[in-house]
Amino acid sequence: MTIFQFPKDFRWGTATASYQIEGAAQEGGRGVSIWDTFARTPGKVFNGDNGDIACDSYHRYEEDIELMKKLGINTYRFSIAWPRIIPDGDGEINREGLDFYHRFVDKLLEAGIEPFCTLYHWDLPQTLEDDGGWGNRRTVDAFVKYAEVIFKEFSGKINFWLTFNEPWCIAFLSNLLGIHAPGNRDLQTSINVAHGLLVAHGKAVQSFRRLGITGQIGIAPNVCWAEPYSKSPEDQAACDRSIALNTDWFLDPIYKGSYPQFMVDWFAEAGATVPIQEGDMEIISQPIDLLGINYYTMGLNRFNPEAGVLQSEEVDMGLTKTDIGWPIESRGLYEFMHYLQKYGNVDVYITENGACINDDLDNGKINDDRRISYYEQHLAQIHRIINDGINLKGYMAWSLMDNFEWAEGYRMRFGLIHVDYRSLVRTPKESFYWYQNVIKNNWLETRS
């Protein structure tokens, strides 16, 4: 048994997102999002599941906050649904939507829990997608208007802000691979989306500074750490492309004011170019205060000319996998955090980390020992990272509770709390009590 002590001001939290937990999709003046549309498109989401009810957190948020208090977290990452605030994307403001989030945030603050707010966690108003989505500057301007409404409403209540969750998913998973909403499958479209969201990010940060909003603002890329299958230059290059598309493609423009040239050249070969307008890169590279990092797994990659636009394929490493099929390898988090140092020792929060383990109720308990093992391994890496002097300031487990896992629907469960989707009864899993103990002690006690 080993004890890993964490810094006294380390933030312990959990994370969720609006479309995945709220439900009440046709209530409170909410408009239609691209995920409402995508989920209703036959074949896009497992079992035809959708977010109409989800965990019903729109109505049950007080119960959720009681469970957060019981867990002992001091930070809670959530997202605001743009379609609740400006239902048609860039028109009238919906006061009822703002009032819902005021009630929610006030309850969090009452419970002594720091709100950590994501402005955009994938639920784009459908009207804007109908008019070209993130590739249309109208959407960029609409996002800035939405962000300014939220900043002015919640300045002083919310002090931690993220503009976008997982830009790689927004751009490439959703517009090149077509696996998430809106389901496009086009390289140029995905590059246009990536650029549009980066400009929107930069403009929102400019507004944040101009309006004198309290707190810190950043963005939350997801990590795809990968190592080469062999020492061949081709396999190493395939690895580099895979990592870069999740990380450098977004963080180079933000921290360096330019895209990674080797990737720009790679896409040019494929006939796609970045639609940069005069002044864009200066806007995108506004200084930010923090980074959210979402880590789940890592890959072993090799060159394969048939393997998609990156010509990079993952090889099965024979590692234990979670129930969604992702290899469990916490070392990738450690390696990635050192890779990230090329942007400087910036303040980082792990804004998502967790395991899909589909254990169900067994005599009223959920003995999700595999999830405990996953967290134990990854928190041990977090401790190593902090010990190496990297400014890792906090950790948010994905997720507080089981919820709508996008194209997987409700079959994939990431929660510390089990949700019965018929009764909506919440049941803390054994991992909930394990994490509760880590938070109470502010140390990790490994079992081996």
Ligand X SMILES: CCOCCOc1ccc(-c2cn(C[C@@H]3NC[C@@H](O)[C@H]3O)nn2)cc1
* Site membership for ligand X, residue 386 (CB under 6 A): no
* Site membership for ligand X, residue 424 (CB under 6 A): no
* Site membership for ligand X, residue 307 (CB under 6 A): no
* Site membership for ligand X, residue 54 (CB under 6 A): no
Pick the piece of the chain touching ligand X (CB under 6 A) from 95-103, 171-179, 260-268, 384-392.
171-179
Range 98-106 contact pairs with CB under 8 angstroms and sequence separation of 24 or more: 98/149, 98/153, 100/28, 100/58, 101/153, 101/154, 102/153, 102/154, 102/157, 103/61, 104/61, 104/78, 105/154, 105/157, 105/158, 106/157
* Site membership for ligand X, residue 173 (CB under 6 A): yes
Report in angstroms how near the CB of residue 352 gets to ligand X at its nearest: 6
Query: 190 near 184, Cβ under 8 Å?
Result: yes
Residue 383 marked ligand-binding: no
Task: Verify whether residue 352 is a known catalytic residue.
Answer: yes
* Site membership for ligand X, residue 405 (CB under 6 A): yes
Eight-state DSSP code of residue 340: G
Residue 61 marked ligand-binding: no
Task: Verify whether residue 335 is a known catalytic residue.
Answer: no
Pick the piece of the chain touching ligand X (CB under 6 A) from 97-105, 165-173, 256-264, 364-372.
165-173
Report in angstroms how near the CB of residue 397 gets to ligand X at its nearest: 12
Residue 395 marked ligand-binding: no
CA–CA gap between residue 401 and residue 95 (Å, rounded): 28
Span between the terminal Cα atoms of the chain, in Å: 5
Residue 296 marked ligand-binding: yes
Q: Which of 166, 313, 314, 376 is catalytic?
A: 166
β-pair partners for 164:
120
Span 328-357, contacts to ligand X by CB under 6 A? 352
- Our CB check for ligand X shows the closer of 4 and 398 to be 398
- Our CB check for ligand X shows the closer of 110 and 316 to be 316
Query: 366 near 418, Cβ under 8 Å?
Result: yes
Which amino acid, residue 354? G
CA–CA gap between residue 294 and residue 77 (Å, rounded): 12
Query: 118 near 17, Cβ under 8 Å?
Result: yes
CA–CA gap between residue 76 and residue 244 (Å, rounded): 29
Q: Which residues bind ligand X (CB under 6 A)?
A: 17, 20, 165-166, 173, 177, 179, 222, 294, 296, 352, 398, 405-406
Which residues define the annotated binding site?
A: 20, 121, 165, 296, 398, 405-406
Write out the catalytic residue numbers: 166, 352
